[in-house]
Amino acid sequence: MASETPDRTLRDVYYAQILEYWDFCGTPSMRVIEKISKQLPELYGEQYRDLPSLSRTTAHGLIHGKRKGLPATDQTSSLILSLQRLAFMSGILSEDPGPAGLREWHDRLRRFRKLGADTPAQILEDRRPAHTGPTDSTILTEPAEQDDSPPAAPGAEHEQRQALTLTQQRFYDSFGPYGLTLLAAADDDHDPDAAYRVAVLLYLERHHPREALAWLTKALRSDHFGAARLNEADDPIQAAAEHAHRLASFAFAAGDSEVAQIFYERAARHGHAEAAFELGVLFTEADEPTRATYWFNVAAEGGHEYARSRFEDIHRTLLGETFAPPRPEGLSSMAYTDELFPIDDPEATPPFGLSAV
């Protein structure tokens, strides 16, 4: 699957990210955004007195992408500062990032303007550093679908892997082609965001906290906002799960479901119920009900409010069929009630191939 659909533009990507951030900040109403935007000079100092307040119409247009071209920098600043403040006031954020939170948005806006608002979003994929190695994507925690294509020539895969360093091989095995692309970008001193993403993933992989800290330190040298917040966390692994969920949400909003799956899965493995629920949604949209069922159940067990009903809906659809959602490594088995899974034979194997507890 291509990371970007052919008809998507950089303008579409930027507005999709704004919409996703509005959702992350609790979907505050346009009326509340209008009100807080008038208080920005009082909150952040007189140097921000020239930032425009946002009418409800303007805020709605920015959030839902109803404007032509990329947004103005000052309006973007007003919107992001307002959303951050409201997220802090509602408890979604533990602290208000303030003006420091604008840097990533401004950098991305400048880059997109330079490339052109109507430029196909595929350019973001094309401009990623090339890598040497396998090109087929992999699903890391679940068995791949049956592949009936002819096998590759003997030794071809071995030769491809031999062309990679040990670190590249490990990143490919863990994260597929995206891992190689990300690693190459992180090696570039001009891409602190890639170094930050590598750190997030490595914190959520077993036995790599020191390596994660090294990449995080590299991102911190460039004053990367996300890296700074992760570095301040008392529990970096649980914080990394939250960061992974946010990165996955941005990727999904930008149309990159493969990258979204990578980050969602890492977050879900570490108990992030919302990430597990989003995986269920992702696999539902991909018409993979067995995987969707598994992740909806993980989310339900984690306390997600809506996951159980989604789980039951899919189970009713599949009732009578034989299916066994795979259990990713590191997640415990779960019991299921007789009401959902009636078993007439007491000696029968529990549903999903899981042991009763």
Instruction: For residues 197 and 227, give the distance between their C-alpha atoms in angstroms, rounded to a whole number.
Output: 9
- 120 SS3 class: strand
pLDDT at 136 over 60: no
Alpha carbon of 335 to those of 277, 294, 354: distances in Å? 18, 12, 7
Question: pLDDT tens-digit profile of 230-289?
Answer: 998 889 899 999 999 999 988 887 888 899 999 999 999 999 999 999 999 999 888 888
Give the helix/strand (H/E) hosting 9: none
pLDDT at 345 over 80: no
At residue 134 the predicted structure's pLDDT band, cuts being 50, 70 and 90, is very low
**Of 66, 85, 87, 63, whose CA–CA distance to 76 is shortest?**
63
Task: Provide the terminal-to-terminal Cα distance of the chain, rounded to the nearest Å.
Answer: 39
Portion of the chain with pLDDT greater than 90, in percent: 28
- 330 SS3 class: coil
Question: pLDDT tens-digit profile of 215-243?
Answer: 999 989 888 888 898 998 889 899 999 99
Alpha carbon of 298 to those of 10, 42, 316: distances in Å? 35, 44, 18
Chain CA centroid to CA 143, Å: 21
Q: Phi first, then psi: what are they for 120, rounded to 5°?
A: -55, 140
Q: In whole numbers, what is the pLDDT of the chain averaged over residues? A: 77
Q: Alpha-carbon Rg of the chain, whole angstroms?
A: 22
Contacts of 210 by beta carbon, 8 Å cutoff, 6+ apart: none
Output the CA angle 87-253-86, nearest 5 degrees.
10
| SS3 labels along 16-82 | HHHHHHHHHCCCCCHHHHHHHHCCHHHHHCHHHCCCCCCCHHHHHHHHCCCCCCCCCHHHHHHHHHH
Q: How many CB atoms lie within 10 A of CB 141?
A: 17
Do 224 and 191 contact (CB within 8 A), yes or no?
A: no
Question: pLDDT tens-digit profile of 19-59?
Answer: 888 988 888 999 999 999 999 999 988 888 889 999 999 99
Do 81 and 102 contact (CB within 8 A), yes or no?
A: yes
